[in-house]
């Protein structure tokens, strides 16, 4: 198969497997999604979903969050890891949203990425899942699977995102990035598949004998 043929098969098969793609992080609006995505750095979505109800019970708007002491935020989000940095970022971005954006989450990459604790991946998730703008956030699952399926050179996350955007129609980015995440969690896992085990890996590379070593991001 050519790279384009592999991409077409992946697109078709994932649509069959995951016709519905619910957003994994529980949230109520753009602000609570932004906070949840920020908390998900080096933490599982499952753990974040256990923590955010306690945080959002205390504060689910920038106005209320900005009034919470950083120490209190940190205590609540401690199970997510990196709590000192994340608490400081949550407090800081809440104040900036009030001061610069009228208490609303902005809808541009530049404005989102200017917020404390918000990198390109977090901004991409918010742009796609909160606002419906085309984006292709590359998390650890997408980075791994794109290499196993030879859809990218895998040099880094930036290159992977660029390669995937070239391969797939813009109208499908938001759907596909979630579908790949679901498949990566359920079938082509980091330890459960090495590029030779899961259905898509076997279909795309039936003669592959050696495991695929994922390059570090």
Contacts of 72 (CB under 8 A, 6+ apart): 58
User: Is 42 found in the same domain as 7?
Assistant: no
215 is a domain residue: no
CATH number of the domain within which 140 lies: 1.10.1670.10
User: pLDDT, tens digit, for every residue of 155-194?
Assistant: 899 999 999 999 999 999 999 999 999 999 999 999 999 9
What's the pLDDT at 166?
A: 97
Residues 85 and 124 in one domain: yes
In terms of domains, do 115 and 161 share one? no
Domain that holds residue 143: 3-21+136-204
Residues 187 and 146 in one domain: yes
Per residue in 103-157, pLDDT (tens digit) is 999 999 999 999 999 999 999 999 999 999 999 999 999 999 999 999 998 789 9
Q: What is the mean pLDDT of the chain?
A: 96
Handedness of CA 189, 37, 157, 200 (dihedral sign): positive
Q: What is the tally of structural domains in the chain?
A: 2
Question: In this predicted model, what pLDDT tens digit does every residue of 187-205 receive, in sequence order?
Answer: 999 999 999 999 999 999 9
What pLDDT is stored for residue 134 in this prediction? 97
- Given 130, 160, 189, the domain boundary residue is 130
- HSE toward the beta carbon, residue 40, CA cutoff 13 A: 22
Residue with tokens 């917020």: 115
Q: How far apart are CA 174 and CA 57, in angstroms?
A: 29
Q: Which of 98, 130, 162 is the last residue of a domain?
A: 130
Task: Answer whether 0.85 is exceeded by the pTM.
Answer: yes
* 99 assigned to some structural domain: yes
* Separation between Cα atoms, residue 184 and residue 57, nearest integer Å: 32
Q: Domain with 62 in it: what CATH number?
A: 1.10.340.30
Q: Which of 130, 154, 182 is the last residue of a domain?
A: 130
Helices (H) and strands (E) in the chain, counts: 12, 0
Reported confidence tier of residue 215, pLDDT bands at 50, 70, 90: confident
Q: Are residues 57 and 113 in the same domain?
A: yes
Q: Would you please indicate which residues are annotated as catalytic (active-site) residues?
A: 121, 139
Q: Is residue 211, in this structure, part of any structural domain at all?
A: no
59 assigned to some structural domain:
yes
């Amino acid at each position: 198969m050519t790279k384009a043929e592999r991409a077409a098969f992946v697109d078709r098969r994932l649509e069959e497997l995951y016709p519905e793609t619910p957003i994994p992080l529980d949230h109520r609006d753009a602000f609570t999604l932004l906070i949840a995505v920020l908390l998900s750095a080096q933490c599982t979505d499952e753990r974040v979903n256990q923590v955010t109800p306690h945080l959002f019970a205390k504060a689910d708007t920038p106005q209320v969050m900005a009034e919470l002491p950083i120490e209190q935020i940190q205590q609540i989000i401690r199970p997510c890891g990196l709590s000192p940095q994340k608490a400081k970022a949550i407090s800081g971005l809440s104040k900036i949203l009030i001061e610069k954006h009228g208490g609303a989450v902005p809808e541009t990459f530049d404005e989102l990425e200017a917020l404390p604790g918000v990198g390109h991946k977090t901004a991409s998730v918010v742009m796609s899942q909160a606002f419906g703008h085309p984006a292709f956030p590359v998390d650890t699952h997408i980075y791994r699977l794109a290499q196993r399926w030879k859809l990218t050179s895998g040099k880094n996350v930036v290159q992977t995102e660029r390669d995937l955007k070239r391969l797939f129609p813009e109208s499908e980015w938001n759907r596909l990035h979630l579908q790949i995440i679901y498949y990566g969690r359920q079938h082509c896992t980091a330890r459960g598949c090495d590029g030779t085990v899961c259905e898509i890996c076997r279909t795309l590379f039936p003669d592959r004998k050696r495991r695929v070593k994922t390059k570090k991001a």
